Amino acid sequence: MTPMHLGQTSHLPASPEEAILDYVPNPRPSTLYCVRFVAPEFTSLCPVTGQPDFAHLVIDYAPDATIVESKSLKLFLGSFRNHAAFHEDCTVGIGQRLFEEMKPTWLRIGGYWYPRGGIPIDVFWQSGQPPAALWLPDQGVAPYRGRG
């Protein structure tokens, strides 16, 4: 399938449901490896107040037949900018959608949300146990410590 966004002018989708993720063939299908995407400025809206919520997302996955095309992933993540949902729904929903559509060997997502009301919320989801031989680095996001 030809990627819809790669090399094309693309507009930010109005919602995550409207976003189309492109997947391309894995260039190393017989190799076990980890791919990491980091979105340190992820934004969504609080479903109660409409105020912006900010998170540092880390997505790790071990591809199978396909990999997610990065421009389409950026547009998908950007579509949450005007999307009202709780931290848990955003984080788990992103992980589950990628896992269901891409069908990687394994996937995990860490959502490190900045405090609102004085409480940071960190949300983690993974598709199952990682493959035993997969090198899996720490996500590298320090716990929130306030002003340092």
Q: Which of 22, 34, 46, 138 is catalytic?
A: 46
| Proportion of the chain in helix, strand, coil states, percent, rounded to 5 | 20, 30, 50
Cα gap 94→63, rounded to integer Å: 16
53 is catalytic: yes
Beta-ladder partners of 52: 45
Q: Which of 22, 53, 60, 90 is catalytic?
A: 53
**What are the start-end ranges of the H helices in 1-148?**
70-78, 87-102
DSSP of 48-90, one letter per residue? TT--EEEEEEEEEEE-SSEEE-HHHHHHHHHGGGG-B--HHHH
46 is catalytic: yes
Tell me which residues are annotated as active site: 46, 53
